[in-house]
């Protein structure tokens, strides 16, 4: 794993980062071949008036995305930039970001322009006002523009399965905007390195008895031609992950409030 200059991060740099005041929010931005949008997206994230840590994880891009982010880092040194040597999957990039997160809460932000970072404030307000450790931004509740019909209905099916299996009311399980208490998130034994991260995280927090609150968010879907990467097979994989973890023999161990820890492996 390398920093934005292609070098391993020194212990001194790590110490300086860890000694900084704790931000309210850590934003993990996984990037894979998002050259047309990543600069504008990061400018939007930086503009949100929240004390935040922004962690950009390039997952082996080959379209110049890394060079674009490096130029932004020169202008905005507060950006943390890490590069994977090769493409490993969105989940792998998220795992890298989770390990570096220092904020009280952590949220995932795709590097395209489908989601509006201004909605971070809405997610944080819901978590703080209700004392919750998990808040999802729902495109359904927000009166979303419809993407491809097969993705819309596939997402509704996955959300219905999550609701039935785990006894929660979830309208948009596949949403990118998942806000977690950072210590809770870091305690989960997440394994999936692809798009299955979403279903895996949902299943694990539900098994821990966490209530998932949804708030409406804005959504502007992009087309395949514009770079949309998820496929219908990812929906099938999500259903399997939800089923697998629901009937696993071992339940993850919930860390005490204010303490991090290692959760047990819930795999059957």
If you average pLDDT over residues 199-223, what whole number do you get? 92
Paired with 30 in beta bridges are: 57
Among residues 182, 179, 167, which one has the least CA distance to residue 214? 179
Flag whether pLDDT at 227 surpasses 50: no
Mean pLDDT of 36-48: 97
Q: Is the confidence at residue 97, as pLDDT, over 70?
A: yes
Q: Is the whole-model pTM more than 0.75?
A: yes
pLDDT tens digits, 100-113? 999 999 999 999 99
Summarize pLDDT for 110-152 with one digit per residue, the tens. Answer: 999 999 999 999 999 999 999 999 999 999 997 756 665 666 7
Does the structure show a pLDDT above 50 at 260?
no
**SS3 for 141?**
coil
Over residues 87-106, the mean pLDDT reads 97
DSSP state of 265: P
Beta-strand pair 79-83/105-108: unpaired
Higher pLDDT, 217 or 1: 217
Domains of the chain plus CATH, in order, are: 1-112 (3.90.550.10), 114-268 (no CATH)
Residue of 180, 168, 176 lying closest to 206 (CA atoms): 168
Per-position DSSP letters for 104-120, written without gaps between them: SEEEE--SSSSB-GGGH
Buried b (16+ CB within 10 A) or exposed e, 114-147: bbbbebbebbbebbeeeeebbbbbbbbebebeeb
Q: How confident is the model at residue 244 (pLDDT cuts 50, 70, 90)?
A: very high
Q: What is the mean pLDDT of the chain?
A: 85
pLDDT at 21: 83
């Amino acid at each position: 794993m390398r920093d934005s200059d292609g070098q391993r991060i020194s212990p001194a740099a790590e110490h300086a980062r860890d000694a900084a005041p704790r931000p309210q929010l850590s934003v993990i931005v996984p990037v894979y071949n998002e050259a047309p949008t990543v600069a504008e997206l990061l400018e939007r994230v930086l503009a949100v008036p929240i004390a935040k840590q922004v962690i950009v994880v390039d997952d082996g891009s080959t379209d110049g995305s890394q060079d674009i982010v490096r130029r932004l880092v020169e202008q905005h040194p507060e950006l943390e930039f890490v590069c994977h040597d090769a493409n490993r999957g969105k989940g792998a990039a998220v795992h890298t970001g989770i390990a570096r997160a220092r904020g009280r809460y952590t949220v995932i932000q795709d590097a395209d322009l489908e989601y509006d970072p201004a909605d971070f404030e809405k997610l944080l307000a819901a978590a703080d006002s209700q004392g919750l450790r998990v808040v999802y931004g729902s495109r359904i509740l927000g009166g979303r523009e419809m993407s491809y019909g097969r993705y819309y209905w596939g997402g509704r099916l996955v959300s219905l399965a999550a609701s039935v299996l785990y006894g929660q009311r979830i309208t948009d399980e596949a949403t990118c905007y998942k806000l977690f208490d950072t210590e809770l998130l870091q305690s989960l034994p997440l394994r999936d390195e692809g798009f299955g991260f979403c279903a895996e995280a949902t299943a694990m927090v539900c098994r821990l008895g966490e209530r998932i609150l949804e708030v409406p968010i804005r959504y502007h879907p992009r087309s395949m031609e514009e770079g949309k990467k998820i496929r219908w097979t990812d929906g099938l994989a999500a259903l399997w992950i939800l089923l697998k973890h629901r009937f696993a023999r071992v339940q993850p161990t919930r860390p005490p409030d204010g303490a991090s820890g290692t959760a047990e492996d819930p795999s059957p």
